[in-house]
Structure formats: C-alpha cells, structure tokens
Chain A
Amino acid sequence: MTATAEERMLSPEIDAFIEKWKDKPGNLIMVLHRVQEEFSYIPRQAAFEVAAALGVPVAKIYGVITFYHFFKLTKPGRNQIAVCMGTACYLKGGQDLIDECERKLGVGLNTVTEDGEFSVEAVRCIGCCGLAPVLTVNGEVFGTVGTKSIAKIIDQFE
C-alpha cells in the first residue's frame, strides 16, 4: 500500500518525530508510542506509513504491536475507563467495579459503546495501591471507588 502525500495519515509532527528518531537504534517502540498518542490506537495505515518511514517490514511492526499490551489495534471510546486490576485493587473489589461498569454501559471488556463514547478495560497496577480500588477515566485517577459511585463517575464524562 502506498499513499500519496495528500492521503498521508501521519501528521507533520509525527513525521518530525520520526525524523528525529530515525537513526537511533531501537526507535520503533518510541515511534509507536507517539503514533498512539495521536490516534489513541495504531491505525493500519499508520503502521504501513511507519514501516515505510523507518524501513522496517510491516510484519515486524505488527509483531511488536501485538506483543505489548499497551498498543491497541482498534479505536477505544472517546472516554476510556481503565479499572486497575493490580493485587491490592483486586482484593478490594476491582472485579466488582468492572462488572458494574459493564452493566452500566452495556458493553464487555475492551469493547466500545455503540455511540463511541465509552470503552472499559482492565489494566495492570497503576501504582496507587494506597487508594485501592482505583479506576482512571482518560488518565484521571479516582480512588477508593465503590460500585455505587460508578454511575456518578460515568455521568461526569457524558
């Protein structure tokens, strides 16, 4: 797949980032982080463009994307709810928070609501164990969350 200049998906900022990292060994993961920061996932076309820009096979890029949990291949909801499933949060009811989010939004884990507004995922320890159980919405941390407060938190972002 080749894209003409008009159809290119990567922004000039990402191009500049790639240019800066191009000659540094081990740049692929850093570039993918930058792409995901922009699109909130790694679109297929972007992967092809990164491949062309860095001169690495697309297969290698997909190998890396699928290996690491952090990289996503599908677009998450506009508001991303991430429930911490570290040990402390798990013991204090992290799973109940996930169940409640799923019930409230009518979606399963890692799927997006029909209107594209919300998605729910379980994440690894985010290191706020003192506040367990914890969830984040778009990176904002909510601590000592009970199942009853889920509705209120979701409302804030609707």
Chain B
Amino acid sequence: MAFKNYILVCAGTACESSKGVALYEALEKELKAQGADTEAQLVKTGCFGFCEQGPIVKILPDESFYVKVGPEHAQQIVAEHIIKGRQVKELLYDKNQSSGASADNIAFYQKQQRIVLRNCGVINPELIDEYIARDGYAALEKVIFEMTPDEVIQELKDAGLRGRGGAGFPTGLKWGFTKNAAGDQKYVVCNADEGDPGAYMDRSTCEGDPHSVLEAMTIAGHTVGADQGFIYIRAEYPLAIERLENAIGQAREYGLLGKNILGSDFSFDIELRLGAGAFVCGEETALLASIEGKRGMPIPRPPFPAVKGLWGKPTVINNVETWANIPMIILKGAAWYSSIGTETSKGTKVFALTGKINNSGLIEVPMGTTLREIIYDIGGGIRGGKKFKAAQTGGPSGGVITAEFLDTPIDYESLMSIGSMMGSGGMIVMDEDDCMIDVTKFYLEFTVDESCGKCAPCRIGGRTNYNILDKISKGQGCPEDLDKLKTIAQAMRKASLCGLGQTSPNPIMSTINFFEDEYLAHINDKRCPAGKCKDLLSYTVIEEKCIGCTACARVCPVSCISGEVKVAHVINQDQCIKCGQCFDKCKFDAIHKG
C-alpha cells in the first residue's frame, strides 16, 4: 500500500442524503489541514449496506468500522486515528472492536456472503482502474479469447444461475435461446427498472459497482452475437444514472466498449434509456416497448423476447443482480458457484431488509439461509422489542411469511410453497402494530394504480378487490366478502395478460390464508386488532388515570382535546382526526386506543 491508511466513505444515496457529501469534504479538508494527505487516501465507495447506521466510514488496513459519522467528526478522525493511530472509540459501531479485528465480525456482516456486492463499499465506483484492480474485465477477456459462446452458456447452466428479477428462469437457457435464434441483429438489455416499493438492491449495485453490469452485458453480447446493449433504468435514481454514464465513458476510453474490444474483432456498445415511473415496465415485454419509446404495455408471450424482443429482434434481458453475478461465475467457475446455495437455487441473493427491524440495510446471503437468521442474526431483531408478525417478500406480487415459517430456507421453491415468492429482493418486516388488511390494501392500491389497463381481469378485478378491502378496513365488510376476494383473485391469476395482473392477487391470498382471523375481526367485530385502521379506531381519555397535565391538549393538531389543568381531559370525537399524537404523548397511559 502506498498509503498508510485508506479512509473509505460511503457515497450511496442513503448515506449521501445523511450529510455524506459534507463528511467527505470535511475529511478532505482536515487531511490537508493536518498535513496527513500523504498518509491516508480518501476513497468514495458504494453502499456498505448498513444504511441504518449511515453515514459509514471504514478505515483500512485495521478495518475500524465507524457509524453515524458527521462532518463534525472529521477533525477527530484525522487527528486521532490517522495521525496518532488511535481508534475513535465513541464512533465505532462495536465499541469493543479492537484495531485489526475485521468488520466482518460485526453480526450484521457475519452471515453474509458477498458476490454481487463484492465491490460495493470497497472500490471507488467512479474509477475504472479500481474495478480492474479487483479482477474487473478479466472475465470479459477470458470469454473473448479463451471460451466459445457455447462454453459460456454451458458454464452458466452448470452454475445454476437463475434470474434474480423474481421469476427465477435459468439464465444459461435464456442466453442459449437468443444465441440460437435466427437474425443478424440481436440486443442485450439490462432491467434496472427497480419498481418494487421497499427494494433498492439494483440501485445500490449500479451506484457501487457499475462496471460489473457493463462487463456482464458485454460478455452476453459476445456470447449471443449482439452489438448493442441498453440499460433501462428508473429516472428516479439520478446517482445511479450518473455513475453508469461515467462508467460507460471510461469503458469506451479503455477500449472495453465500442469497436474492436480488447483488440478483437468483437464490437459492442451500451446506451442508457430512462424509465418514467411505470411499475409494469419491470415486465420484460412492457420494458422493451418503453425502450422503443412507446407506452409500456405488455404483449402476450410467447414469442419470448429471447427470440423476438426489442424491435422484433432476439433479445437477452436480465436484471441488474443477475448481471452482477456473471463475471464471478466466469472467473471462478460453475463448480464454485454451484457449491453455494441449495439444490435448486444456487449462489446468493441480495435483500433490502427494511421495516420494523433494528438493522435496516442491504444484505447478501447464500440461498438456503433461513428467515430467522436474516431477521434475528443479521437484522438484529424487531425494533423496540415488539413482536414479529410477518415478513413480506416479493413486494406487490408476493406474500407474507409468518413466525411459524421462520426456519424455512430461502430459495425459489420453498418460498413459493408457503405462498410467497423470492421476488426481486424486498424484504419488509412487520410487527404487531401492522394491520394485514391495511398492508394488503396498500399493495392493491399500488397495483391498481400501476395496472396498464390493457386486459380486463387486471384492470377491473384489481379495482373491485381494492374496493372490497377498503370497505373491510372501514368496518363495512360482510362475511361474503372473503369468498368474493378469493374468487376474483383466482380469476385474475388465470386470465391476466402479464405478471402484474397474475401476481397482484398474491398479497390477498397470502394474508387471508395466514390472517383470516384478522379479516374476520374487521368484518364481524368491526375491530382492527393492530389498531391501524383509522375508521375503526377511537381515542378516549381514561378518566381515572388522567392527571390533567394538558400535554395531550397541547400536542393535538386540531385542538379537539379540552379540560382544565389537573382535571381529566375529554376528546371531542367529532373533531378527532385519529392522528394518535395524544396517545404517543401521554406519559400516564391515560389514553385508550381501540
């Protein structure tokens, strides 16, 4: 190492928004001011995954892992750690972490295995040299000069890599279809239209390691015989777009994109295409329509895009996470990759672990890891000591996993068998305060809004089911509603045109299956057990407990609480907006919610 220390500063969206940019600048200034800029190099990296504790700073070589670092700490870090070589104890995540002890010992990282995120939080994503120094583009070189296209496809098949967008289709098989399809013009497409609410794996990968995606797409181009690639990315991800554009520019400069790549006769280039906020464009045929500049409406398959895709030409389309796996498979081999995971699901899976959990963040675990390990070992358990109720995977297309299935190993098949799905990687943890009807309604509202309207089952079925759920959440449901919900859900599954309509009833079926009693409480008793559905809630003052401190009256945003000092207060039910602020404020448990 040329420098004594390396200071890695996370520059992912989450950390940047928590003053990460100011922190980087402050560190830069302090290094200069204290004359330490020859001792330590400052490196802007991709996401460490531990977003909950951001901004994060990691110092090498002793691996000190600092969390919640602000610009105000820059002076101290440089003076103490860099110059005097003493850790700044109060900023360490693990206060007992000794110098030199790997950050991997932190529980959050211990059960993780990073293949897709191998470079995130390690290299500066804006410098191609750092990617190359970590064996970047070596896989591309191997593919161009040492392997035949059929060998590449066989390697992917042997590795058992399956599409990480959610459906889990074998990647090697897909590439084989496109390679064998007739036609002189073929395309390669990267699906970075990460629309699942509560999921940001692909954003972090594009921000933290953009070259891994470019390299893999180029490998695909060489394998199937395409000369043009497109990355379809959400316009809502400005930082990821910037990093990808920068990476494409550098790759062209290095002769890794463009004409005669690495001096061979193979030419390939990549362009970005921006999405415009339509969830249905995650569906591959809709995505292709959108790249073509049209309304993103799906078309019936077959023919599959592998044979007839973009502008009618054979097209390989994979999602970001799938792409990021590929260079490693080529370099380390199928045998290595297929040794990780379960019988049917190989490799690792990245999850965005969010919701009511202590350690929110981005994690990557081997397939076959159980939900219990993810939630309790990596995630640090439920926030505020509350009780675990369910974890939701697969977003608006998925279902809930309840406590009794916490020991299910995570893979495509076992999640399907318990009524959920792998999905793209959103994992939302819910506790006892979350109402299943409310959450299901949230997903339905999403899919109703995002339905493109082309086919009737999705357009009408989704809306009707939403209306029924809305009625139930307001205490106006009737016992027949459950059957109605199920009947419509079945029809949508069978008759909808694309994945959006076919899977959007999943949250309903899954929650009815596991939480029927909660539906019945809303329908029969007009009661929301979790205390979430506002129409079924009322707040009242428990007279004997209220000491008349007036705290609730002062916090009430609509001033509907009245009462004299030291006398029990009263809530005017007609004006109450059920915001719950009085309930949170009261120190004497004198407000009843229910």
A96 CB, nearest partner CB in chain B, Å: 7
Complex A-B: 9 CB contacts under 8 Å:
A26-B292, A29-B293, A63-B295, A70-B236, A86-B197, A124-B195, A128-B13, A129-B352, A141-B16
A138 at the interface (CB under 8 A from B): no
A25 at the interface (CB under 8 A from B): yes
Measured in the bound complex, the distance between the Cα atoms of B579 and A22 in whole Å is 52
Interface 1/0s, chain A 67-93, versus B by CB < 8 A? 111110000000000000111101110
Measured in the bound complex, the distance between the Cα atoms of B584 and A147 in whole Å is 12
Measured in the bound complex, the distance between the Cα atoms of B204 and A63 in whole Å is 32
Contact of A143 (CB < 8 Å), options: B18, B204, B237: B18
Q: Which residues of A contact B443 (CB under 8 A)?
A: 87
Say whether A33 contacts B13, CB under 8 Å.
no
Which chain A residue shows the least CB distance to B47? A130
Contact of B276 (CB < 8 Å), options: A33, A87, A128, A129: A33
- A85-B197, A127-B237, A139-B238 in contact; A26/B581 too (CB < 8 A)? no
Say whether B236 contacts A124, CB under 8 Å.
yes
Say whether A29 contacts B276, CB under 8 Å.
yes
Say whether B13 contacts A141, CB under 8 Å.
yes
* Interface residues in B421-474 (C-beta closer than 8 Å to A): 426, 428, 430, 434, 439, 442-443, 452
B590 CB, nearest partner CB in chain A, Å: 21
Q: Which residues of A contact B198 (CB under 8 A)?
A: 86-88, 125, 129
Contact of A87 (CB < 8 Å), options: B277, B428, B557: B428
A149 at the interface (CB under 8 A from B): no
Contact of B311 (CB < 8 Å), options: A25, A29, A129: A25
Say whether B290 contacts A29, CB under 8 Å.
yes
A152 at the interface (CB under 8 A from B): no
Which chain B residue shows the least CB distance to A136? B17
A113 CB, nearest partner CB in chain B, Å: 19
Measured in the bound complex, the distance between the Cα atoms of B39 and A39 in whole Å is 47
Measured in the bound complex, the distance between the Cα atoms of B52 and A49 in whole Å is 46
B506 CB, nearest partner CB in chain A, Å: 14
- A91-B356, A125-B198 in contact; A67/B278 too (CB < 8 A)? yes
B194 at the interface (CB under 8 A from A): yes
B208 at the interface (CB under 8 A from A): no
Say whether A67 contacts B295, CB under 8 Å.
yes
Q: Which residues of A contact B354 (CB under 8 A)?
A: 87-88, 129-130, 132
* Interface residues in A50-68 (C-beta closer than 8 Å to B): 63-64, 67-68
Which chain A residue shows the least CB distance to B195? A124
* Interface residues in A75-127 (C-beta closer than 8 Å to B): 85-88, 90-92, 96, 99-100, 103, 123-127
A45 at the interface (CB under 8 A from B): no
Say whether B197 contacts A26, CB under 8 Å.
no
Measured in the bound complex, the distance between the Cα atoms of B12 and A143 in whole Å is 14
* Interface residues in B269-284 (C-beta closer than 8 Å to A): 273-279
B51 at the interface (CB under 8 A from A): yes
Say whether A130 contacts B360, CB under 8 Å.
yes
Measured in the bound complex, the distance between the Cα atoms of B18 and A26 in whole Å is 37
How many residues of chain A get a CB closer than 8 Å to chain B's CBs? 42
Say whether A128 contacts B17, CB under 8 Å.
yes
Which chain B residue shows the least CB distance to A84? B197
Q: Which residues of B contact A27 (CB under 8 A)?
A: 293
Say whether A140 contacts B278, CB under 8 Å.
no
B235 at the interface (CB under 8 A from A): yes
B306 CB, nearest partner CB in chain A, Å: 20
Say whether A67 contacts B17, CB under 8 Å.
no
Interface 1/0s, chain B 537-577, versus A by CB < 8 A? 00000000000000000000100000000000000000001
Q: Which residues of B contact A86 (CB under 8 A)?
A: 197-198
B28 CB, nearest partner CB in chain A, Å: 21
Q: Which residues of B contact A25 (CB under 8 A)?
A: 292-293, 311
Say whether A131 contacts B17, CB under 8 Å.
yes
Say whether A87 contacts B274, CB under 8 Å.
no
- A29-B290, A129-B354 in contact; A140/B17 too (CB < 8 A)? yes
Contact of A125 (CB < 8 Å), options: B51, B52, B199, B434: B199
Which of A90, A92, A125, A141 counts the most chain B CB atoms within 10 A?
A125
Say whether A88 contacts B434, CB under 8 Å.
no
Which chain A residue shows the least CB distance to B449? A69
Say whether A141 contacts B274, CB under 8 Å.
no
Measured in the bound complex, the distance between the Cα atoms of B558 and A103 in whole Å is 10
9 interchain residue pairs of minimum CB distance: A130-B51, A141-B17, A127-B200, A68-B276, A69-B277, A87-B198, A70-B277, A86-B197, A28-B293
Say whether B203 contacts A33, CB under 8 Å.
no
Which chain B residue shows the least CB distance to A33? B274
Say whether A127 contacts B13, CB under 8 Å.
yes
- A26-B292, A88-B360 in contact; A71/B395 too (CB < 8 A)? no
Q: Which residues of A contact B395 (CB under 8 A)?
A: 87
Measured in the bound complex, the distance between the Cα atoms of B310 and A26 in whole Å is 10
A29 CB, nearest partner CB in chain B, Å: 5
B172 at the interface (CB under 8 A from A): no
B14 at the interface (CB under 8 A from A): yes
Interface 1/0s, chain B 43-66, versus A by CB < 8 A? 000000001101000000000000
**Additional pairs, 17, CB under 8 Å, beyond known A87-B395, A87-B443, A128-B200:** A26-B291, A28-B293, A30-B274, A33-B276, A71-B276, A88-B198, A91-B355, A124-B236, A124-B279, A126-B13, A126-B236, A127-B14, A127-B200, A129-B198, A130-B54, A131-B54, A141-B13
Q: Which residues of A contact B236 (CB under 8 A)?
A: 70, 123-124, 126-127
